[in-house]
Structure 1
Amino acid sequence: MAHLKQTFSSFFNCLRETPSLFLGLMRLDSCLDTDEERVNFARRDELNRAHSEEPDGPLNFELDVCHQDPEYMFPAPLPHAQVKLITSWEAGWNVTNAIQGIFVLGLPYALLHSGYSGLLLIVLAAALCCYTGKILIVCLYEENEDGQLVRVRDTYEDIANACSKKLSPKLGGIIVNVTQVVELIMTCILYLIVSGNLLSQSFPYIALTEKTWSVIAFVTLLPCVFIRTLKIVSKLSQLCSLVHFVIILVVISYCLTQIHQWSWAKFRLSIEFEDFLVSVGVIIFSYTSQIFLPTLEGNMKNPEEFRCMLNWTHFFACVLKTTFALTAFLTWGEETKEVITDNLPSFLKTLVNLCLLTKALLSYPLPFFAATEIVYSCISKGNHSNYRSLLLSLGVRGSFLLLTLLMAMFTPHFALLMGLSGSVTGAAMTFLLPSLFHLKLKWKKLSFLEKCADISVFILGLLCSLAGIVCSIKGLLEVFGGV
């Protein structure tokens, strides 16, 4: 079996040029457990209107009555929509899926280039992403005249519109929607490319090119056109997460058999700046799930438990990632490969290779469904006759499915372009926008320390984004012969 390093070499080479190449990949395994048909993934949220009040909870969801913005227009409620609320445990499972992506396999390689600081980064990244997730949800709520918190906004788009309403009522929402679609579609394309590479390496005795294998992978994904509910996506995501934990279990189990050769002397005391940026990109952005949190919180039976849920899910992810990265790096040290499974014996590599292929194919439906629902809702514009049009629905999904194939086949140096777009969209959705929106909407109620925290997060996100943009452009100029 050929090395997985060959399978992913193009992507990890690009990662050395940008700290946020895999930004989009790290957040796309989450799923929402609902039964409603044709739900709008980014603008829903008739969900709260379908259960406008939780009688036993401390939070009142009186969206249609208590919305503070008279210009805010809710989309028309879905006819006969049925909502299945989720428990805090189920919500936590979804968040865990979102922050346990396929390229967590690169964490040991990140430790190789960051040394002891990498261990600190894993903990710090968990804390920062947990914090931005919380302040994003805070932006959904306002206090009414009685001092009670009321959920007056439903989506990331609603928050953006509230912040930009003085400039333009819809400008913020448009920017957020475009950012989400770009990030999700680029991620779909990358999954398709990875699937083609894995198929090529899994069956080297078949004389087919990687692009041909990508077409074969595309054929297996055609049923995505007929996915109409998030319930189906949820089942696929659960299978994807199961495969992911099998991979992690295999690697950690093998590393424990080599515990006799572990040595802390393998950690670096000095690091190189560009290599350190690689580690920052892999570690920080492996925790991102902000794009899904507003809808997830809106589907919870007890939304007041959201903060606690976010705390323990990120704590669990931090422990798991630290254990995985540490055991793998202590096992192989300086010989740690870009994809840690490349260090495994051949018989385990074959198993993990097939698991990675399965995970890549199962990961595709969620970002695909999310992106098409955003575009579909914009096209339909609340018109129920269009919303129910099977032809329109199939047309949007089919067009996007074909778009991902064409870009995977014909876009040169796609991984570098992915790094460039990820540096903008990923950093914006994870750090820049949550902190900026929180400052904008809650400035008068924030303490001095909270303002400092938001400003610090914004600056950190800006620096990460600029570093990624500069390095990605540098890489593009090099491959196109500009420098």
Structure 2
Amino acid sequence: MFGVLTALFTVLVLAVTSLQHKYTDVYHAPEFDGAPTHEFIIGKGIPSAIASISFMYAGSVAFPHIEGNMRKPQQFGWMLFVANTLVCGAYLLSSVTGYVAFGDQTVSPILNNLPNLAIVNAATIVIIVHCVFALPVMLVSASLELELALGVMPGILGKKKELAWRVFMRTVTMGVLLGISIAIPYFGQVIDLVSAISTTVVFFMVPVFCYVKLLGWNRIPKYELLLCGVLAAIGGVACVWGLIDAIKSLQTAVQLGHG
């Protein structure tokens, strides 16, 4: 609930403040020579957008663990629909109001476009806290595999030692990842690069291939095969095109000396 409330607070602050301060040159906003411009569709940005959007839904790696710990697992499908609808709505509200306000002058993170107001600073702090608390959820699968490989289990260590080791290992893991994210320059461009390589394949292609492999070509209706082909094609195009675009963006950022 804390994560939902913090994300909702930040989205509302972003939406309202963006519309109130569409173009400003006060401190905490980037300086530009003129007013922003807008395009309805930017074709070259579609693949990298797909890669970034798929990265936003990377929390799905924890879905099996969530379903396994639900009091009523039969409601997992409904929960998944509601969760994805809320996430999609939050992203749409942020992206639409942000682009309407700042157009081609939108920067990453978009909070840097907003003026230096107390409410904006509060939203920045809140979303940082939100990310820190959400990080362990993203690491559930990897952490469990690592702990299993190292024998961090109640049957081996006992409940108290197992808990202590889990807390220690996951805290260290979070610290290392936070340190890397702070140390890496041009972090936004690096994330786009990683997204293009990994998440487009993981979310658009691997599920399709596994689905077809498990059921077999002959047991899948033709319309489903067509849909699977479309999804795999979207993932392939987004992966290749997004990778090229991410490399170009990273190269440009390095040459200009800013992320």
Task: Tell me the TM-score normalized by structure 1.
Answer: 0.41
Distance in 1 of aligned mates of 2:253 and 2:115: 34
Give the drift of 1:409. Answer: 6.7
Structure 2 SS opposite 1:295: helix
Structure 1: unaligned runs, 5 residues or longer: 1-237, 260-265
Q: 1:458 aligns with which of 229, 232, 238?
A: 232
Q: Flag the 1:285–1:365 CA change in 2: closer, same or farther, 3 A.
A: closer
Q: Which residue number corresponds to residue 438 of structure 1?
A: 211
> Which amino acid letter does the alignment assign opposite residue 362 of structure 1?
F
Asked if the contact 1:290/1:429 (under 8 Å) is kept, the reply is: no
The offset of 1:249, in angstroms, is 1.6
Contact 2:196 2:240 in 1 (8 A): yes
Judge conservation of contact 2:99–2:106 (CA < 8 Å) in 1. yes
Confirm whether residue 422 of structure 1 aligns to residue 177 of structure 2.
no
Whole-angstrom distance in 1 between the partners of 2:108 and 2:170: 34
Q: Distance in 1 between matches of 2:208 and 2:152?
A: 29
**Paired position in structure 2 for 1:358:** 129
Displacement, 1:411? 5.6
User: Following TM superposition, by how much is the alpha carbon of 1:432 offset from its aligned partner in structure 2, in angstroms?
Assistant: 1.8
Equivalent pairs: percent with the same residue?
18
AA at the equivalent of 2:198: T
Query: Structure 1 pair 429/475, CA: closer, same or farther in 2 (3 Å)?
Result: same
- Assess if the C-alpha contact under 8 Å between 2:208 and 2:231 holds in 1: yes
Matched, 1:315 2:71: no
* Cα deviation, residue 429, structure 1: 2.6
Q: Partner residue of 1:280?
A: 50
Q: CA RMSD, aligned part only?
A: 3.8
Indicate how the Cα distance of structure 1 residues 393 and 430 shifts in structure 2: closer, same or farther if over 3 A, else same. same
Q: Quote the Cα distance in structure 2 between the aligned partners of 1:393 and 1:299.
A: 18
Residues 343 and 457 (structure 1), Cα distance of their counterparts in 2 relative to 1, 3 Å cut: same
How far apart, in 2, do the equivalents of 1:346 and 1:480 lie?
A: 27
1:291-310 map, 5 Å:
291-310=61-80
Q: How does 1:6-405 map to 2 (within 5 A)?
A: 238-255=1-18, 267-269=38-40, 271-273=42-44, 275-347=45-117, 348-368=119-139, 370-380=141-151, 384-386=155-157, 390=161, 393=166, 396-397=169-170, 400-401=173-174, 403-404=176-177
Count of aligned pairs between the two proteins: 237
3-state secondary structure, aligned to 1:346: coil
The separation in 2 between residues aligned to 1:298 and 1:447, in whole angstroms, is 30
The answer to whether the 8 Å contact 2:15/2:94 transfers is: yes
Structure 2: state its 5+ residue gaps: 23-36
Structure richer in helix, relative to its length: 2
Q: Which is greater in Rg? A: 1
Closer, same or farther: CA 296–398 of 1 in aligned 2, 3 Å: closer
2: CA distance, partners of 1:315 / 1:446: 28
Identify if the C-alpha distance between structure 1 residues 428 and 380 changes in structure 2 by more than 3 Å, giving closer, same or farther: farther
Distance 1:447 1:303, change over 3 A: farther
